[in-house]
Amino acid sequence: MSASTEAPAGAVSEASVRRIAWAAFVGNALEWYDFFLYGTAAAAVFQQVFYAGDDLAHATTLSLLTFAAGFLTRPLGAIVFSHIGDRYGRRTALLITLILMGVCTGGIGLLPSYAAIGIAAPIMLLLFRIGQGLSASGEWTGATLLAIEYAPPHRRGFYASIVQLGSPAGTIASSGAFMLVMLLPHESFVSWGWRLPFLAAFVLVAIGIWIRLRIEETPEFQKLVVEAEVESYPALQIFREAPGRVLLGAGVYLFGMAGYFFMTTFMIAWVASKGQDPAPIIGSSIVGATIQLVVTPWYGRLADRFGSARVMMIGGFVTLAYAPLLFMLVDTGVPAFMLCALAIAPIFGVTMYAPAGALLSDLFPPRLQYSGLALSTNLTSVVAGFVPTIGFALWNASNGSYWPLVGFYMLLIALTILSVWISSRSRNLRTGAETAGIAVVGEDIG
């Protein structure tokens, strides 16, 4: 049985699909540049700028709490943007998310310090971060659907994986931009240098808007409008029709999001707490993101060939096998071992991230696609936001043993594998096929 029984997406040419996928990727990369930039600044400089300077540790805690706020607000944003995306179109939702993210990020670059306006500074910072979280909640979903709904059925896995490149591209761009301004003298960096990457968001969002204004609404959504199948309250309807699939989708995306913050935010905190230099961890995030840029499209092609569910499950078992070695090498404290261990990890872990968009889209009917994907992935984001804290608590409670960390990491992987397996045995609500995310081995996909 074929993974898809649909007809090709109208008369849209392959060149047009590539252009649209590129537009989806660029916008997604700009969004993640803004979102990740905040995390770096919250750890490196915000505690010195936006909070009272008497207690640096307390200020750092408050700064990181504003970082977490971006995750806590994402389910609310998912409800808002799922309504816009399923009611008024994917393109409309994407334009709003891009503008909101650009305004909030650029606004942070203009925000006066605590010394200038007092308590109003951290309050406004928190509001801008909430705006970033709301924006991010709808961006990935819209970009993924833009690529999938334009792509021919036999290329959906590949084009969905192109959107997934936005995360590593955003990581590289935000880390690179911040590393450049950190080369300034310390006083200049704290005073004004850190603002430059944030102010760049105004220029980047203008470019993103120009790109997205040049694309049309997806053929699939246009068909829903013509056939009067657009839901008035899609977020409510998805919980009426398929609440279990929303939770299942959250499980499918669990490791793809939580694993990222475990390998970056938690690893930096873990290594630093042992009195070791976290520089190899920071360097490995850039190297790992570069590797991810290379392997993600390849996994997308494999998903088209063998099915997204098969690729994710096989990759999940390989990642499980690698987990003990990963933590053992990082625990040595040897920079070369740490860098290699974390740079290699994405080769395995991305197998559960690159095909996820294609599999998730199979779980929900076309008229509720935006709602299903947005609510699933943003429920996951709440869990992912607390993964570094949970990992750190486990390590502290274990008297310095890394084995509880291995167990927790493997639990995230196992829950994802289980969710993918259940999904693969569920009906594909996009096409009506008996299973989701499964292709016939040896099938000619063109």
Which residue ranges make up each domain of the chain? Answer: 14-424
Residue among 205, 254, 210, 261 nearest 31 (CA): 205
Report the distance separating Cα 304 and Cα 282, nearest Å: 33
Residues 309 and 360 sit within 8 Å (Cβ to Cβ): no
Tens digit of pLDDT per residue, the chain (446 long)? Answer: 333 434 444 456 777 788 888 888 887 888 788 877 887 787 678 888 888 766 666 776 777 778 778 888 888 888 888 888 888 888 888 899 889 989 999 999 999 998 899 999 999 999 999 998 898 888 888 888 888 888 887 888 888 888 888 888 988 888 888 888 888 998 898 899 999 999 999 998 888 888 888 888 878 788 887 776 676 777 788 888 888 899 999 999 999 989 887 887 788 778 877 777 777 777 787 888 899 999 999 999 999 999 999 999 999 999 999 999 999 999 998 888 988 998 889 899 999 999 998 899 899 988 888 888 889 988 898 888 788 878 878 888 888 888 999 999 999 999 999 999 999 999 888 877 888 888 754 444 44
* Single pTM value for the model: 0.81
- Give the Cβ contact number of residue 398 at 10 Å: 13
- Quote the pLDDT of residue 12: 62
> 403-424 and 369-397 are packed helices; what angle lies between their axes, rounded to 10 degrees?
160
- Quote the pLDDT of residue 440: 53
Q: Is 400 exposed, middle or buried (0-12, 13-18, 19+ CB in 10 A)?
A: exposed
- Residues 256, 423, 296: CA angle, nearest 5 degrees: 35
- Residues 410, 415, 421: CA angle, nearest 5 degrees: 125
Per CATH, is 14-424 categorized as 1.10.600.10?
no
| Residue 248 in tokens | 């299942």
| Residue 420 in tokens | 């993918």
Report the distance separating Cα 224 and Cα 89, nearest Å: 10
Residues 352 and 315 sit within 8 Å (Cβ to Cβ): yes
- Quote the pLDDT of residue 143: 86
118-126: long-range contacts (C-beta < 8 A, 24 or more apart)?
121/49, 121/50, 121/51, 122/50, 122/51, 122/62, 122/66, 125/46, 125/50, 125/66, 126/66, 126/69
